[in-house]
Amino acid sequence: MSDIKYNQPLPMRLSKLMAEMYYFMAKELIERLGEEEGKKAIKAAVENMAKSRIEAMKHDALSLGLSPIGKDTYNKIKDFGTPDWKRDENGLVTYCPMAETWAQYGNEGLALGALYCQIDYALYEGFGMKLDRPKCLTNGDSCCIFNYTIINEN
């Protein structure tokens, strides 16, 4: 049963709706195509979504006269707000409404959510950064850690 409640803030409800739609679509792909082909289809869809998002965000960056590279630009034109994510004093993500939604479906939900979370690597790379995420909520960790290095200054 869905964990989306009418009294939750709108951004949280939208994040959870997106996560739940993704879960059911990913689950259906695996059931119809089998685990190996289903996962390939999910990964391809996530990669294609990342490419589309990067293109749109870079267009926004250029229209604002911002560099198409770097964390500052990425933060300014990020298309998916995270106001309901909770971070500790070190900036580590300790709560994510999407991970919470996937967790309600047990290990299967978290495993499918982990496939979606791979989008972050492509998004960071699209803005000239290499993401290192040693911990992720969808992997059963207590937080998500987002470390990055600039790999492309141009």
- The reported pLDDT for the residue numbered 91 is 85
Q: Which amino acid is at 130?
A: K
Residue 55 lies inside a defined structural domain of this protein = yes
144: pLDDT strictly greater than 70:
yes
Residue 5 lies in a domain: no
Contact 68, 61 (CB under 8 A): yes
Task: Name residue 135's amino acid.
Answer: K
Residue 48 lies in a domain: yes
Q: Which amino acid, one-letter code, is at 132?
A: D
What gap in Å lies between CA 102 and CA 124, rounded to an integer?
23
The Cα-based distances of 17 to 60, 89, 101, 140 in angstroms read: 25, 28, 9, 21
| Domain count across the chain | 1
Does residue 2 fall inside a structural domain? Answer: no
Q: Domain range for residue 29?
A: 10-150
Q: What is the pLDDT of residue 152?
A: 65
DSSP character string of 35-52: HHHHHHHHHHHHHHHHHH
Is residue 46 in a domain? yes
Over range 22-36, report the average pLDDT.
Answer: 98
Under the banding of pLDDT at 50, 70 and 90, the label for residue 8 is confident
4 in any annotated domain = no
Predicted structure pTM score: 0.91
Flag whether 91 is in a domain.
yes
What's the CATH code of the domain at 88?
Answer: 3.30.1380
80 found inside a domain? yes
- Residue of 78, 81, 71, 72 whose CA lies nearest to 54: 78
